């Protein structure tokens, strides 16, 4: 079955002012929607980042895979690698570790791989989870992903979520998310306030939610000493501590001194990082993310390798739409070693999506694997057109939390370590 055409559509959707170590989310989040169409008339969907440098590579790659067989993932990968070329795309937002050529190729390949799997599933009348080995769970648990946030974007009225700038605000945010979606695990995006205040917020969450596993993720802005101090303070409270400090060396030094496992989506972001991280025992949990680990099949391979070395699996998330959520759900449903609730930004979308409603839902904090063939989701063409128009008009062409934050606080620093 040959690829006849590939459509690439950038989209933008409204995003609240979520705070993190690199600043604050801009009013619009960007994504790229990929549609691969075969000579037999089947269409497969993929979703990836929307930053312009990445979008351009995705467009180049799209042109280079026309005529290839959707079953020939290795040939598609080789064509994508050639189209990407030797230069490196930088991940400007600084929250998913360093950029490299391998990571760039894997990031560009991923939406095409997902779309090809969607097509193969449709052709076989099977869900993607069956192409990945079959389900080990019928529904995939996700975590309530809490953020410190302003009441609204500067100059705009308060948004639907309201402010969360202290422990009470975060507990209230958690109550809303747990109440609305039934989440059974809670993650706090840290790296925003001094570490002791973030530890206080975790303790307040523990009091309010005694049974929910909790995680804290300051995106590597703490020193080794601070990480050890906070890790010890939160002994018995955290399920895992995510990227407290920068680099495999720093993580290894912290890992040996704190009682809970360390997790990462920053110091291990390509296969090249695994040997040293394993040897140094730097991490106990890897947050896999098919968007930059080269798609679903490669992510499943990494999961197997991690299991061999006793590394547990969770899943990383960035602002995303429903095609990504469907792909994440199929992967996690087929991967036995993903034993921690996966991260998702879905609640922050506030209902905006490019897919037709109904295929994805949360029940008790988990997303049941969609029933239909392939990914089990369909594009809503009207919504796609609206979101594409939003992209054309919004003026944002890359995620840049730092510059947006500096418009409000010119002294904002991205120094690491900050505390
Ligand atoms: O959405 O601000 C955010 C997050 O900080 C995201 O960009 C990170 O990549 O969720 C991510 C993480 O776990 O580090
Ligand atoms: Mg993280």
- 243 Cα nearest atom in ligand 1: 14
- Category of 128 on φ-ψ map: left (φ > 0), alpha (ψ -120 to 50) or beta: alpha
Q: What pLDDT, on a 0 to 100 scale, did the predictor assign at position 94?
A: 76
Ligand closest to Cα of 318 equals 1
User: CB neighbours of 311 closer than 8 A, spacing ≥ 6?
Assistant: 278, 283, 284, 285, 286
Q: Which residue is catalytic, options 25, 103, 189, 291?
A: 189
Q: Is 316 a catalytic residue?
A: yes
User: CB neighbours of 103 closer than 8 A, spacing ≥ 6?
Assistant: 91, 97, 269, 270, 292
Q: Which of 18, 96, 405 to mutate to test the pocket of ligand 1 (most atoms within 8 A of CB)?
A: 96
Pocket of ligand 1 (CB under 6 A): 18, 20, 95-96, 189, 217, 219, 265, 316-319
> What sign does the dihedral 227-228-233-237 (CA atoms) show?
positive
Q: Which of 198, 267, 317, 416 to mutate to test the pocket of ligand 1 (most atoms within 8 A of CB)?
A: 317
Give residue 48 CA to ligand 2 midpoint distance, Å: 18
Token pair in block for residue 235: 């002994």
- 93 Cα nearest atom in ligand 1: 7
Do 243 and 219 touch, CB atoms closer than 8 A? yes
pLDDT 10s digits, 172-226: 999 999 999 999 999 999 999 999 999 999 999 999 999 999 999 999 999 999 9
Q: What pLDDT, on a 0 to 100 scale, did the predictor assign at position 92?
A: 67
Question: Residue whose CA is closest, atom 13 of ligand 1?
Answer: 316
Q: Which residue is catalytic, options 291, 316, 330, 345?
A: 316
DSSP state of 264: E
- Which alpha helices (H) appear in 262-338, and where do they start and end? 274-279, 295-308, 322-334
Q: Which residues of the chain have pLDDT under 50?
A: none
pLDDT 10s digits, 129-146: 999 999 999 999 999 999
Maximum distance among all Cα pairs of the chain, rounded to whole angstroms: 60
Tell me the domains of the chain and their CATH numbers. 3-129+381-394 (3.30.390.10), 133-368 (3.20.20.120)
Give residue 82 CA to ligand 1 midpoint distance, Å: 29
Measure the CA–CA gap between 22 and 404, rounded to whole angstroms: 10
Q: Is 189 a catalytic residue?
A: yes
Give residue 5 CA to ligand 1 midpoint distance, Å: 33
ipTM above threshold 0.85: yes
């Amino acid at each position: 079955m040959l690829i006849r055409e590939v459509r690439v559509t950038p989209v933008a959707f409204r995003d609240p002012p979520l705070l993190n170590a690199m600043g604050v989310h801009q009013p619009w989040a960007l994504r790229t929607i990929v549609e691969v169409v075969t000579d037999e008339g089947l269409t497969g969907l993929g979703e990836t980042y929307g930053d312009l440098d990445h979008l351009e590579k995705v467009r180049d790659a799209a042109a280079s895979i026309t005529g290839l067989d959707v079953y020939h993932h290795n040939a598609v990968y080789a064509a994508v690698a050639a189209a990407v070329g030797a230069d490196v795309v930088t991940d400007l937002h600084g929250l998913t570790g360093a950029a490299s050529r391998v990571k760039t190729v894997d990031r560009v390949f991923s939406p095409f791989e997902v779309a090809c799997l969607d097509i193969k599933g449709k052709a076989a009348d099977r869900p993607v989870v069956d192409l990945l080995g079959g389900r080990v769970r019928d529904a995939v648990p996700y975590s309530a992903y809490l953020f410190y946030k302003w009441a609204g974007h500067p100059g705009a009225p308060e948004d639907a979520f309201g402010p969360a700038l202290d422990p009470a605000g975060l507990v209230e945010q958690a109550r809303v998310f747990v109440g609305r979606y039934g989440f059974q695990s809670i993650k706090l995006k840290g790296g925003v306030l001094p570490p002791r205040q973030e530890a206080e917020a975790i303790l307040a969450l523990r009091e309010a939610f005694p049974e929910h596993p909790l995680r804290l993720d300051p995106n590597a802005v703490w020193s080794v000493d601070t990480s050890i101090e906070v890790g010890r303070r939160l002994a018995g409270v955290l399920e895992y501590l995510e990227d407290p400090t920068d680099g495999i060396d720093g993580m290894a030094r912290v890992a040996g001194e704190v009682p809970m496992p360390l997790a990462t989506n920053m110091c291990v972001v390509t296969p090249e990082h695994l040997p040293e991280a394993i040897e140094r025992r730097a991490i106990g949990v890897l947050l896999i993310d098919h968007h930059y680990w080269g798609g679903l099949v490669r992510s499943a391979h990494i999961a197997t390798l991690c299991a061999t070395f006793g590394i547990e699996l969770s899943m990383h998330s960035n602002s995303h739409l429903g095609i990504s959520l469907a792909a994440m759900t199929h992967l996690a449903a087929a991967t036995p070693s993903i034993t921690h609730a996966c991260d998702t930004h879905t609640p922050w979308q506030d209902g905006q999506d490019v897919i037709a409603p109904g295929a994805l839902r949360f029940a008790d904090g988990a997303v049941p694997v969609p029933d239909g063939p392939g990914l089990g989701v369909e594009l809503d063409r009207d919504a796609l057109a609206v979101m594409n128009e939003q992209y054309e008009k919004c003026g944002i062409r890359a995620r840049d939390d730092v510059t947006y934050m500096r418009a409000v606080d010119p002294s904002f620093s991205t120094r690491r370590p900050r505390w």
